[in-house]
Structure 1
Amino acid sequence: YYLEQTTGQPYLTLEIDREAVASYNLNVDAVQRVIEVGIGGQVASQVFEGQRQFDIVVRFPEDVRDSFKKIMEVPVYLPTGGFIPLKRVTRIVPQEGPREIAREDGWRRVIVGVNLKEIDIGTYVSRLQKAIDEKLDIPDGYFLVYGGAFENQQRAMNHLLVVVPLSLLIIIGLLYLMFGRLRYAMLIFANLPFALSGGIFLLLMRGFYLSVSASIGFVALFGVAVLNGIVLIAHLNELRQNGMPLRAAVVTGSANRLRPVLMTALVASLGFIPMAFNTGPGSEVQRPLATVVIGGLITATLLTLLVLPTLYNWMEKNRDVPDKDDAFGIHDDD
């Protein structure tokens, strides 16, 4: 980890001896002005060069202030005439002070950086927040802000809150255009919760949290789940359009589409297995994504082959399967 160093800078401070100042009939302001103006410098005037202006700073020559011994010999003039060296009314005190004072949005801040390995950032921050809540009592006036990659992740999650619902609406629209009936689109869409449940279950079982990569995995999973639903429902409709009774079409169509649905799920799942158990660089991103896809495909495939035909049989009782052109009101005049 990395902790921003805010202290540890050595300082040498000139402290004024007020008793000595009073014994010489001086005041503290006179001594402070010698230190401020002679050593630090003071703006005496300005010079203009075109549109630019520059300050004219007056202070002691460098050969008078290039060592502490010489600084302590700087003259301080007395009200009664004459002068005394600065060392008569001041002393040098070594101190340790801040290296810098960093601010963000008007607040002082200290950065604690952590490099993560073999864990995703969402999981780490969740555990960190829990540990802080249980073990630390943060004083008043202090607060924690999680930035860096986690802040970027939260921003990406907010974008996904818009992208994912929009994607689902587009899927419903495309399914309606394909089948011509909203009930078929919603029937295929009902397969998504089955996929969602499997992805979440395996994600929690492996101890992962919902991250950006896991959310992207859900988007990919929804695509495969919808594809399996389309393959099955389109074939069932085709069998019924050819005159096969509803129940026979459901049984025959499910058996016919068993192999294509399993092949689609297996190809995707087997391809993600190396990512799910990867431990190399980038594994914190790959493992949640692969876990979601594998878990979701297991439940989605089983429920596509078992539950979806049952729902189709229940929904289509006493209904004829329409031709898509009829559904949109398109008729051939010939």
Structure 2
Amino acid sequence: RHGLSVADVQAVVSTAIGGDNVGEVILGRERYPINLRYPREIRDSLERLRQLPFVTDKGAQLLLGDVARIAIEDGPPMLRSENARLSGWVYVDVRGRDLRSAVDDMQAAVGKAVKMPAGYAVSWSGQFEYLERATERLKLVIPVTLAVIFVLLYLLFRSFADAALVMAAVPFSLVGGFWLVWALGHSISVATAVGFIALAGVAAEFGVVMLVYLKNALARRLDAGEPMNDQTLLAAIREGAVLRVRPKAMTVAVVMAGLLPILWGSGTGSEVMTRIAAPMVGGMVSAPLLSMLVVPAAWYLLRRRGHPSPVSQPTTEGVLP
């Protein structure tokens, strides 16, 4: 009716109340804008704002109250949107428990007590979202990695039994890491998962080197002409296992010396680094013990099945054909 659009009225409101930069003051290297707007006594009064005159493009003089309803209402300081939809955020700080179980409990409580109207949705983001992404990737990466390691072990030993022995020993080597993580009160997170992956690699290396020493000791005795029996096998296992004690002790000492300062550190980034180092430090107790005590015994049982000890045969002296 007046030849106005909503944008025209909004321009009057923004200029009169919010102000409009009409120039700039230059003071050396400094720049200050010149902002023009109505005096405070007009801007703070609803009645005076309703009486605010302005001229249309057709020359008609109108009051702001003629084309707009002016009132003071509470509203959000900022309108947030995501995926082209309005969104509101609720921030939660989790302490004293692991993130996954806390979010699972919150999701159950929200799903039970909050009924979403049509057009509304709830999503859980933040560190939990990153944890979910990392978990999905680990579900794919870990099986593929284990399969590759098994193939490499088979190519090294040319024996499914030896490769399976090393792979079966790896999970039991992680026991010390789990105990130390529990003792320190840490929750299982992406950082601790990285520490366990590194520990698994070291544990597999311990098992591989131990089997190499055992096989080499047995090969030397067989090359020397000793028969393949229980005595030869046990002597080779003792020789190979004893040769690995000092190198393994040196390896454990070096790893512990490098990780203990990280484990007890309190500087920037220590919250993540301690959770990576804890599984490694705990595993440096269980992994060497397993490789030095359990792996030789298990290998003895495997080789003994393939080469049983000879049994005494009845003598044939004096027996006619």
The amino acid across from 2:114 in the alignment is: P
Matching residue of 2:169: 191
Matching residue of 1:254: 241
Query: What value does the CA root-mean-square deviation take over the aligned residues?
Result: 3.9
Q: CA deviation at 1:160?
A: 2.2
1:147 to 125, 148, 160: 125
Q: Does 1:178 align with 2:127?
A: no
Matching residue of 1:302: 289
State TM-score, norm by structure 2: 0.67
Give identity over the alignment, percent. Answer: 29
State TM-score, norm by structure 1: 0.64
Q: CA deviation at 1:101?
A: 3.1
Relative distance call for 1:39 and 1:264 in structure 2 (3 A) is closer
Matching residue of 1:94: 72
Q: Aligned to 1:308, what secondary structure does the other structure show?
A: helix
Q: Aligned to 1:96, what secondary structure does the other structure show?
A: coil
Query: In structure 1, what is the Cα distance between the partners aligned to 2:121 and 2:200?
Result: 39
Q: Tell me, which stretches of 5 or more residues in structure 2 are unaligned?
A: 17-36, 55-60, 227-231, 308-321
The amino acid across from 1:123 in the alignment is: D
1:209 to 171, 180, 187: 187
Q: CA deviation at 1:166?
A: 1.9
Relative distance call for 1:37 and 1:99 in structure 2 (3 A) is farther
1:280 to 257, 264, 267: 267
Query: In structure 2, what is the Cα distance between the partners aligned to 1:94 and 1:207?
Result: 52
2:137 to 156, 159, 164: 159
The amino acid across from 2:242 in the alignment is: A
Q: Relative contact order (alpha carbons < 8 A, sep ≥ 6): 1 or 2 greater?
A: 1
The amino acid across from 2:215 in the alignment is: N
Q: Report how many aligned residue pairs link the two structures.
A: 261
Q: Does 1:232 align with 2:210?
A: yes
Q: Aligned to 1:313, what secondary structure does the other structure show?
A: helix
Query: In structure 2, what is the Cα distance between the partners aligned to 1:209 and 1:125?
Result: 10
The amino acid across from 2:279 in the alignment is: V
Query: In structure 2, what is the Cα distance between the partners aligned to 1:290 and 1:137?
Result: 39
Q: CA deviation at 1:313?
A: 0.9
Relative distance call for 1:240 and 1:95 in structure 2 (3 A) is same
Q: CA deviation at 1:199?
A: 2.0
Q: CA deviation at 1:284?
A: 1.8
Q: Aligned to 2:260, what secondary structure does the other structure show?
A: helix
Q: CA deviation at 1:278?
A: 2.1
Superposition pairs of residues 1-334 of structure 1, within 5 angstroms: 37=4, 40-41=7-8, 69=48, 71-72=50-51, 92-105=70-83, 107-113=85-91, 123-124=98-99, 126-127=101-102, 130=105, 138-141=113-116, 145-242=123-220, 243=222, 245-319=232-306
Relative distance call for 1:91 and 1:271 in structure 2 (3 A) is closer
Relative distance call for 1:138 and 1:319 in structure 2 (3 A) is same
Q: CA deviation at 1:234?
A: 0.9
Q: CA deviation at 1:128?
A: 6.1
**Contact kept? 1:194, 1:296, Cα under 8 Å:** no
Q: Aligned to 2:72, what secondary structure does the other structure show?
A: strand
